[in-house]
Amino acid sequence: MTDASVRTTRTPTWILVAIGGFFALFYAYALWQAVGNTIQAAQIGLNALGWLIWIFAILFPVIAFAVSFALSYRRGVAIYALVLLSGLGLVAVFWLNVIAYTSLNTSSLVA
């Protein structure tokens, strides 16, 4: 068997866009929730730690999606979807940690 007879097929771009767009909606929802909670928390006044936590809560879904996408878009469809799903799970765990920390330690986050 020669190298010319071995042919690799690439995944069609529209499938990658559809899967990425589907997961991007969930990442965007986490981002939207973080922005909404940041605005709500800013109305009561935040100190530097409060701003740091909420700004990182806004940035984390974007960072997680970018890293998940960069690690997996050249692999197969199943691996691409699983890596995006695991990144979304990481965002969900981080979001629960932010909610738990800010609800239990509100007095240390307000100015």
pLDDT of 2 above 80: no
95-109 residues labelled b (16+ CB within 10 A) or e (exposed): beebeeebeeeeeeb
User: Is a pLDDT exceeding 70 seen at residue 94?
Assistant: yes
Distance CA 44, CA 50 (A): 11
At 4 the pLDDT is: 62
Q: pLDDT band at residue 44, thresholds of 50, 70 and 90?
A: confident
- The pTM for the full model equals 0.84
Give the Cα separation of 94 and 60 in Å (integer): 8
Return d(Cα 14, Cα 27) in angstroms, integer: 20
DSSP 73: T
